[in-house]
């Protein structure tokens, strides 16, 4: 096991397109880091630079104490798990698990032990003699995991390993990966564009946007204190409501509605105010609140997403189905539920 250190890592493709713009991350020994962001944000490029599958334009990648910039992938002592599993179709599960070890001329006895241990951990024992085409998607994914485990590497790198599985299987495999990683304690870097997968797997999330880090933090830090409107709208489902507002005399206003006092005394002028759908509730009878015109409702069973408008701007509320609906509702929230961002830069006011 090892730490992984990225120091001002950049990737420029074809001499002019900067896909990764100076990223620095210190990954602790045994930590599970998830790189998350929309398509094209540079997360796969970053992972591939750690793996050695992509050259590093400038900056430094260290695994443990070794600078690995110029090392071949095979010499980095990492194991990568891909989205397409990359299994050998003509080999059995046993053959697939043992292949990398045989290649390294490991003694037969040790290969047998490592394969047996991985097969036990991943519940692959009944399938050892099957070829990949006779396995389900989830089983194939487990074989891919097994191939990484038998190598006992310093680190695991995962590139969207669950995206070919159906939704239900994704949830159960995600739990398996997390438990396995905890048990083995192997430093892991995992790439996904799925914010829920990121939230549930990560010790710390790295939210990327346009090749740069928007925020690094635990899932709850990022959820409760998003550093920017980008993070606020990317992490959490439904996305945080972002409303154009103004601060006048210490008060946040949206058109004719007053949202409450601005927590930052020095802020004035135009701002973007964020409030999560789950932090909104109907005002108590006769109590104060803001008027919302309901436009449509989505029933989720345990919850109901009520979409409406506040002063012409969209607003979504997550309400209990027990709450009666009306075309016009008065909505309340705690002052502490408001997030205030600089309208020009999108950055959170401290």
* Listed ranges 33-41, 119-127, 247-255, 297-305: which one lies at the site for ligand ATP (CB under 6 A): 33-41
For residue 44, give Cα distances in angstroms to 40, 165, 180, 308.
Answer: 9, 19, 23, 37
Does 17 bind ligand ATP (CB under 6 A)? Our answer is: yes
Member of 4, 33, 41, 80 binding ligand ATP (CB under 6 A):
41
Please, which of residues 174-213 interact with ligand ATP by CB under 6 A? 193
* Listed ranges 41-49, 93-101, 256-264, 281-289: which one lies at the site for ligand ATP (CB under 6 A): 41-49
How near is the Cβ of 46 to ligand ATP at its closest, in Å? 7
Does 42 bind ligand ATP (CB under 6 A)? Our answer is: yes
- Cβ neighbors of 63 (< 8 A, separation 6 or more) are 2, 3, 4, 50, 76, 77, 78, 154, 155
Does 15 bind ligand ATP (CB under 6 A)? Our answer is: no
- Angle subtended at Cα 59 by Cα 56 and Cα 193, rounded to the nearest 5 degrees: 65
Member of 4, 19, 115, 148 binding ligand ATP (CB under 6 A):
19
H or E element that contains 198: helix 195-201
How near is the Cβ of 190 to ligand ATP at its closest, in Å? 12
Member of 16, 39, 103, 109 binding ligand ATP (CB under 6 A):
39
How near is the Cβ of 81 to ligand ATP at its closest, in Å? 15
Sheet holding 269-275, edge to edge: 257-261, 251-254, 241-248, 269-275, 339-342
Does 263 bind ligand ATP (CB under 6 A)? Our answer is: no
Does 214 bind ligand ATP (CB under 6 A)? Our answer is: no
> Looking at the DSSP assignment, which residues form a beta bridge with residue 304?
299, 319
How far is Cα 39 from Cα 210, in angstroms, rounded to an integer?
9
Q: Exposed e or buried b for every residue in 171-206, given b needs 16+ CB within 10 A? A: eebbebbbebbeeeebbbbbbbbbbebbbebbbbbb
* Listed ranges 34-42, 80-88, 224-232, 251-259: which one lies at the site for ligand ATP (CB under 6 A): 34-42
How near is the Cβ of 337 to ligand ATP at its closest, in Å? 31
Q: Which residue is nearest to ligand ATP (CB)?
A: 44
- Cβ atoms of 151 and 80 within 8 Å: the answer is no
Member of 4, 6, 27, 44 binding ligand ATP (CB under 6 A):
44
How far is Cα 194 from Cα 85, in angstroms, rounded to an integer?
19
Instruction: Please choose, from the candidates 59, 61, 2, 51, the residue with its C-alpha nearest in 3D space to the C-alpha of residue 28.
Output: 2
How near is the Cβ of 240 to ligand ATP at its closest, in Å? 22
Query: What are the DSSP calls for 72-123, one per residue?
Result: -GGGS-EEEEETT----TTS-HHHHHHHHHHHTT--HHHHHHHHHHHHHHTT
Binding mask 125-154 for ligand ATP (x = CB under 6 A): ------------------------------
Whichever of 31 and 159 has its CB closer to ligand ATP, that residue is 159
Neighbouring C-alpha atoms within 13 Å toward the C-beta of 230? 17
Task: Report residue 340 as tokens.
Answer: 């205030």
* Listed ranges 12-20, 194-202, 297-305, 331-339: which one lies at the site for ligand ATP (CB under 6 A): 12-20
Residues of this chain that bind ligand ATP (CB under 6 A): 13-14, 17, 19, 37, 39-45, 193
């Amino acid at each position: 096991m090892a730490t992984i250190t990225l120091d001002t890592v950049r990737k420029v493709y074809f001499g002019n397109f900067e896909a990764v713009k100076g990223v620095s991350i210190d990954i602790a020994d045994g930590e599970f880091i998830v790189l998350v962001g929309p398509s094209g944000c540079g997360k796969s490029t970053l992972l591939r630079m750690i793996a050695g599958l992509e050259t590093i334009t400038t900056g430094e990648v260290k695994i443990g104490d070794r600078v690995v910039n110029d090392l071949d992938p095979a010499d980095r002592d990492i194991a990568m798990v891909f989205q397409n599993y990359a299994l050998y179709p003509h080999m059995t599960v046993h053959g697939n698990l043992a292949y990398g070890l045989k290649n390294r001329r490991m003694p037969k006895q040790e290969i047998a032990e490592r394969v047996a241990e991985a097969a036990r951990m991943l519940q692959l024992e009944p399938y050892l003699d099957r070829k990949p085409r006779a396995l389900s998607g989830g089983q194939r994914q487990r074989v891919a995991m097994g191939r990484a485990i038998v190598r006992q590497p310093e680190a695991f790198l995962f590139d969207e390993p669950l995206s070919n599985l159906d939704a239900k299987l994704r949830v159960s495999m995600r739990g398996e990966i997390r438990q396995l990683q905890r048990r083995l304690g192997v430093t892991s870097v995992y790439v996904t564009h799925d914010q829920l997968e990121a939230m549930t797997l990560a010790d710390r999330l790295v939210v990327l946007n346009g090749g740069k880090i928007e925020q690094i933090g635990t899932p709850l830090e990022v959820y409760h204190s998003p550093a920017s409107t980008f993070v606020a709208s990317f992490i959490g489902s439904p996305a945080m409501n972002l409303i154009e507002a103004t601060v006048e005399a210490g008060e946040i206003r949206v058109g004719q509605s007053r949202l409450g006092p601005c927590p930052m005394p020095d802020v004035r002028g135009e701002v973007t105010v964020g409030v999560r759908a789950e932090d909104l509730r109907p005002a108590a009878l006769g109590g104060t609140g803001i008027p919302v015109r309901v436009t449509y409702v989505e029933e989720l069973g345990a919850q109901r997403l009520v979409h409406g408008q506040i002063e012409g701007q969209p607003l979504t509320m997550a309400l209990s189905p027990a709450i009666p609906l009306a075309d016009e509702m008065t909505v309340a929230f705690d002052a502490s539920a408001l997030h205030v961002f600089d309208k020009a830069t999108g950055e959170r006011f401290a």
